[in-house]
A and B are shown apart, each in its own frame.
Chain A
Amino acid sequence: MSGSLSERLAAYLSRTWGEPVQVADLARISGGASRETYRFDAVLASGRRPLILRRDPPGSLIETDRRCEFLALKSFHGKGVAAPEPLILELEGAELERPFFVMVRVDGGAAGSPFQPDAYAPHAAKLGEDFFGTLGRIAAADPLALPISDVFEAPALGDCWRRELDYWSGVIEADELHPQPIVRAAIRRLRRHPPPPAQKLAVVHGDYRTGNFLHDGQGAVLAILDWEMAHLGDPLEDLGWALDPLWRDVVSGKVSGMLTREEAISVWERASGLKVDPAAFAWWELFASVKGQAIWTSSAKEYRDGGYMEPILGFSGWLTARRHDEILAAKLAEMGP
């Protein structure tokens, strides 16, 4: 279809909303490696609406279902979690040629980089309360009462770990271009020592970490973003990912650059009403680093194959992959045979 992206988006919105819509100030922004993200204003007779367009790229860091991201936002918007309001889901692409969705834009927030030292000072502790408290509230929700359950079958509590490990070890198996003995040793260990069944079924955000939320600079979370890996599973999965050493501030040593590990767990337990069993959590923490290495393995494959050579893919397939090898090797050596 001819015309600029603005023109095509305006045509789509006009058709969908049944009234003339103009698109103003459309600009691509950095919004993760799995979607093209654009900010724009929809100009209607009633006024301007600040919006975000998330469109599938030609290639992607991870294969995700945009319907699941849309329904995850729908599940939590307005329910005590700062999830932006989702508005439109277009699975066929229509005028934009690739699947996309539109959500309300949250203005005035900042996103901290996971690799920026002391990214949240001087409000890190207050922000950590909100960040880990929000994660606890996500864990506390009943997933079967939420729209996201439309796209996922509920796994048995005892199968949550196996389903995730099977999936991510399969990604490594499929995408590995060079033998990776360290992550393979970790996968074998996880299989030999499975965790106990999940204490409850929860919505798992899937990528809950530094860099995937907006904050107001005063210690409050404004928006939890990047729900594209959301699924149903063990609530400890998200906590393990958020506490992974990859996101640890190298200067302060604080998890996610905000709180000590003990403080973060305590905030999460209070908000979720759940308990962190140390043995189960050790499994999910090791799994988090395996999952990370699987994502970076896919990223490296995409980059090396030359199909989608965005610099972010080279970065994540390189620096973060090396870092996760170090993290995994240290964890395995500490655990011993």
Chain B
Amino acid sequence: MTPSVTEVMRGCAAALTQPPSPDAGPDFFASRVGMISMLANLAAQEAEHAAAAAVAENADIRALFAQAAAHDVALGGRLARAAQGVDTDLTLTALDAANARLRRLLIALHERVEDAGDAALDRAILALYVRMAAGRRLQLGG
């Protein structure tokens, strides 16, 4: 997982309060402050969207598990149970923990789908990856 909003904001605060090194030139400081400014802008985007993105991604993975459960005898039970899950705790910590569990199972499923040569399900997983990545998009100056 990329750093969380909390970690980034704490990192920015730490960077801003760090005493300046006597050897750091003005160009270095200007560059560093510019980087902190970009991080703060990204954090603003993430604060607005992170929970919604995590909920949407988790739901998307669960929907795919529901579809895949019938295909995979070995993983079918785990997939079906995971597909029934619902995010009730909407803190980012809880959502990320649920997301980690779902992603681990998704990796295991994709490996089995590739080994089985199930092209249709493989394509569905690849399409899911595109949606997952798009859902987490950050933009400079956004």
Task: Specify the main secondary structure of chain A where it touches its partner.
Answer: helix
CB-CB under 8 A for A28 and B24, given A179-B103, A329-B133? yes
A6 within 8 A of B: yes
Question: With the chains together, A330 CA to B130 CA distance in Å?
Answer: 6
Question: With the chains together, A54 CA to B21 CA distance in Å?
Answer: 16
Contact A311 B104 (CB under 8 A): no
B23 within 8 A of A: yes
A47 within 8 A of B: no
Give chain A residues whose Cβ lies under 8 Å from the Cβ of B136: 322, 325
0/1 string, A1-33, CB within 8 A of B gives 1: 000111000000000000000000011111000
Give chain B residues whose Cβ lies under 8 Å from the Cβ of A329: 126, 129-130, 132-134
Contact A115 B140 (CB under 8 A): yes
B114 within 8 A of A: yes
0/1 string, A167-202, CB within 8 A of B gives 1: 000000000011111101100100010000000000
Task: Specify the main secondary structure of chain B where it touches its partner.
Answer: helix
* Among candidates A6, A178, A326, residue contacting B133 with C-beta atoms closer than 8 Å: A326
A156 within 8 A of B: no
Contact A303 B127 (CB under 8 A): no
Question: With the chains together, A27 CA to B138 CA distance in Å?
Answer: 33
Question: With the chains together, A181 CA to B114 CA distance in Å?
Answer: 13
CB-CB under 8 A for A314 and B8, given A179-B100, A326-B137? yes
* Among candidates A5, A184, A300, A326, residue contacting B107 with C-beta atoms closer than 8 Å: A184
Residues A238-285 near B (CB distance < 8 A)? none
B119 within 8 A of A: yes
Contact A317 B3 (CB under 8 A): yes
Q: A182-B132, A309-B15, A322-B2 are in contact. List 13 more A-B contacts (CB 8 A).
A: A28-B21, A178-B1, A178-B99, A179-B107, A181-B129, A182-B133, A303-B3, A311-B15, A315-B39, A317-B3, A326-B130, A326-B134, A333-B127
